[in-house]
A and B are shown apart, each in its own frame.
Chain A
Amino acid sequence: MPLLYIIVFKYVPMLGNIIAFKQYSITKGMFGSPWAGFTHFERFFNSHEFWRLLTNTLSISFYTLVASFPFPILLALGLNYVKNERFKKTVQMVTYAPYFISLVVVVGLLFQFLDPRTGIVNHILGWFGVDPINFMGEASMYQTLYVGSYVWQNVGFACIIYLAALAGIDPSLHEAAVMDGANKLQRVRHIDIPGIMPIAVILLILNTGQMMETGFEKILLMQNSLNLRTSEVIDTYVYKVGLVSQAMNFSYATAIGLFKAVIGFVLLIIVNQTAKKVGQESLW
């Protein structure tokens, strides 16, 4: 049964990508529709949306990757040196919690806090004589808000794996270091960080592979007509062209989606090769 599922819901859609090369019409079906070659791809590359979509997609993904990578590591390193068990447990409990809150609610929270009239952030700014800012309507703020809320939601959960890795470090290394007169900062630098390096690299590779995938649902939720300039990415565009717009164009949307998948795949290979060259772990 699982195999059947995988074939029907994963491989059949892959095959379904052929409509990217066809002039799909509902009446003729997937196989009856005439071939269109690369016309859909060409149309996309030549459209005035192309560069904006590509840069938005890459910049949001890259920004998320860079910003979300160090925080869990720092949190884990910090927690590792906390002796008070109760404090440690509290911090962990609280930092995990946002992970279980749905994207809809997280975006809802953003809207509530940043609302120009009723939000608490603008209330506070008001005391300093700052006029209310319509954060969600500012295209220039969009990506920072997206990434910031992403880190807020995921830092605690992502830190679990580093904590586990830190717990796996041989305690005799620490004892020896203390004997040699190393202080805590030196121990972090020379024992802990090298100790979690392999896991960090693997996670970085995995995250890079997912770079083109993540966040689509949240990006869509946070989008409005005012911030579209910086918030429209390939995925949301595919969704709109393929499923929402008046004149649905399945073939065109599929072609764009396929283009994105190929970029993601190429990125994954590049990162993996780089990691191999540097002499670190790699996925294969």
Chain B
Amino acid sequence: MQQHSTIRESGSDRAFTIVNYVILSIVLLIILYPLIYVVSASFSSSYAVLSGKVWLWPVEPSLDGYKAVFKNKNILTGFQNTLFYTIAGTLINVIMTILAAYPLSRRDFHGRNVFMLIFVFTMMFSGGLIPTYFVVKGLHMIDTVWAMLIPTALSVWNVIIMRTYFQTTIPHELLEASQMDGCNDFRFLRSIVLPLSGPILAVIALFYAVGHWNQYFNAMIYLKDPGLYPLQLILRDILVQNEVKIDMLGDVKTAAARQGLRELLKYSLIVVSSVPLLIVYPFVQKFFVKGVMIGSIKG
């Protein structure tokens, strides 16, 4: 029942709406389907996966893939290492970013523009792979956990986002008032600026954490000791280079069963390695738009 007070949608508008919904649903399916398929395959039996019987829901449900994943020592160490790199690395990142962004946001900071230029220039021109490798090597970080934490300690892009946030949301008068009350800069930063910056801290921390969790390249070039390998590097061996060692699969007799379990292991591994981040992100999601948007405003 259309009420008289509302304007009825014209024919072309209704067509637009329908087409719009159809297209969006197709987009939804294209992006969602691979994700569902992986989860379903990981819970199916190896035979069903190999013969292409898995479509949408798990076929002949089994946990064999997960058993193989959690029995594997390399994967478990990788998981622990990645957890450590992510937590320690993100902590370092966030502290560094605050330390850089806060002074740059203060209008009474002498030489602010010069420092800003020094930072921004590195976004456009970088030192390149080999010279950076030499610096890390020169600092004797090769094959230590530091190689995973220090070379990526700061992202200039995130500094700019945070600086802009400080500038736009924390009024200058607040600083003046607190200085009247005898508050020094560190106190001001700790008791006023940071408590007011919850959303941006969450977004920045998530960005960094995603980076650390997914990091494999630095590990590949800087680490030689398999005991330090992050999960991604082990994933790469198994998923991309297809190096599943026989002993990973336990006591599987026939070649066909081995082949099946090998595929199953991959699907389970994909799920296990991706789930932690996918669980965290909906909680931070509502801050995204804010965070990303602020980054785009020219400071």
By a beta-carbon cutoff of 8 Å, the part of chain A in contact with chain B is 1-3, 5-6, 8-17, 19, 30, 75, 78-79, 81-82, 87, 90-91, 93-98, 100-105, 107-109, 111-113, 118, 120, 123, 152, 155-156, 160-161, 163-164, 178, 183-185, 199, 202-203, 209, 213, 217, 220-221, 235, 238-239, 242-243, 250, 253-254, 257-258, 261, 265, 268
Q: Who on chain B is nearest to A209 by CB?
A: B124
**Which segment, of B176-184, B185-193, B235-243, faces chain A?**
B235-243
Cβ contact of A257, chosen from B7, B115, B130, B292, cutoff 8 A:
B130
Are A164 and B293 in contact, with the CB atoms below 8 A? yes
Residues of chain A contacted by B130 (CB below 8 angstroms): 16, 19, 238, 242-243, 250, 253-254, 257
The minimal Cβ–Cβ distance linking A109 to chain B, given in whole angstroms, is 6
Interface of B is mostly: helix
Cβ contact of B128, chosen from A3, A78, A118, A261, cutoff 8 A:
A261
A86 CA to B170 CA, complexed, in Å: 34
Are A14 and B131 in contact, with the CB atoms below 8 A? yes
Q: Is B84 an interface residue (CB 8 A)?
A: no
The minimal Cβ–Cβ distance linking A151 to chain B, given in whole angstroms, is 10
Are A184 and B17 in contact, with the CB atoms below 8 A? yes
The minimal Cβ–Cβ distance linking A25 to chain B, given in whole angstroms, is 13
Are A2 and B20 in contact, with the CB atoms below 8 A? no
Q: 15 A-B pairs, CB-CB below 8 angstroms?
A: A2-B100, A6-B156, A12-B135, A95-B31, A100-B277, A102-B214, A102-B216, A102-B273, A104-B216, A111-B242, A118-B50, A209-B124, A213-B126, A254-B128, A261-B125
Given A10-B126, A100-B277, are A81 and B20 also a contact pair (CB < 8 Å)?
Answer: yes
Residues of chain B contacted by A178 (CB below 8 angstroms): 7
Given A2-B154, A238-B129, are A183 and B24 also a contact pair (CB < 8 Å)?
Answer: no
Cβ contact of B239, chosen from A104, A160, A202, A239, cutoff 8 A:
A104
Given A118-B263, A161-B293, are A105 and B273 also a contact pair (CB < 8 Å)?
Answer: yes
Residues of chain B contacted by A75 (CB below 8 angstroms): 24, 27
Are A91 and B28 in contact, with the CB atoms below 8 A? yes
Given A108-B266, A257-B128, are A103 and B214 also a contact pair (CB < 8 Å)?
Answer: yes
Residues of chain A contacted by B32 (CB below 8 angstroms): 94
Residues of chain A contacted by B1 (CB below 8 angstroms): none
The minimal Cβ–Cβ distance linking B98 to chain A, given in whole angstroms, is 9
The minimal Cβ–Cβ distance linking A87 to chain B, given in whole angstroms, is 8
Are A6 and B34 in contact, with the CB atoms below 8 A? no
Are A183 and B12 in contact, with the CB atoms below 8 A? yes
**Which segment, of B57-65, B68-76, B245-253, B280-288, faces chain A?**
B280-288
A243 CA to B223 CA, complexed, in Å: 13
Chain B, 95-150, CB within 8 A of any chain A CB: 96-97, 99-100, 115, 118-119, 122, 124-135, 139, 150
A152 CA to B13 CA, complexed, in Å: 29
Interface of A is mostly: helix
The minimal Cβ–Cβ distance linking A5 to chain B, given in whole angstroms, is 5
Q: How many residues of B contact A (CB 8 A)?
A: 78
Residues of chain B contacted by A90 (CB below 8 angstroms): 28
Q: Is B174 an interface residue (CB 8 A)?
A: no
Are B274 and A102 in contact, with the CB atoms below 8 A? yes
A183 CA to B214 CA, complexed, in Å: 45
Are B240 and A104 in contact, with the CB atoms below 8 A? yes
A239 CA to B220 CA, complexed, in Å: 11
The minimal Cβ–Cβ distance linking A194 to chain B, given in whole angstroms, is 17
The minimal Cβ–Cβ distance linking A199 to chain B, given in whole angstroms, is 6
Q: Is B5 an interface residue (CB 8 A)?
A: no
A107 CA to B232 CA, complexed, in Å: 12
The minimal Cβ–Cβ distance linking A227 to chain B, given in whole angstroms, is 13
Residues of chain A contacted by B20 (CB below 8 angstroms): 78, 81-82
Are B266 and A254 in contact, with the CB atoms below 8 A? no
Cβ contact of B154, chosen from A5, A112, A152, cutoff 8 A:
A5
A95 CA to B26 CA, complexed, in Å: 12
Are A183 and B13 in contact, with the CB atoms below 8 A? yes
Can you name 14 extra interface pairs (CB under 8 A) apart from A2-B100, A112-B270, A257-B129? A9-B153, A102-B232, A107-B240, A112-B267, A118-B49, A120-B54, A152-B31, A155-B27, A163-B289, A184-B16, A199-B296, A203-B296, A238-B129, A261-B125
Chain B, 20-48, CB within 8 A of any chain A CB: 20-21, 23-24, 27-28, 30-32, 34-35, 37-38
Are B274 and A100 in contact, with the CB atoms below 8 A? yes
Are B270 and A261 in contact, with the CB atoms below 8 A? no
Given A100-B281, A120-B37, A163-B289, are A94 and B28 also a contact pair (CB < 8 Å)?
Answer: yes
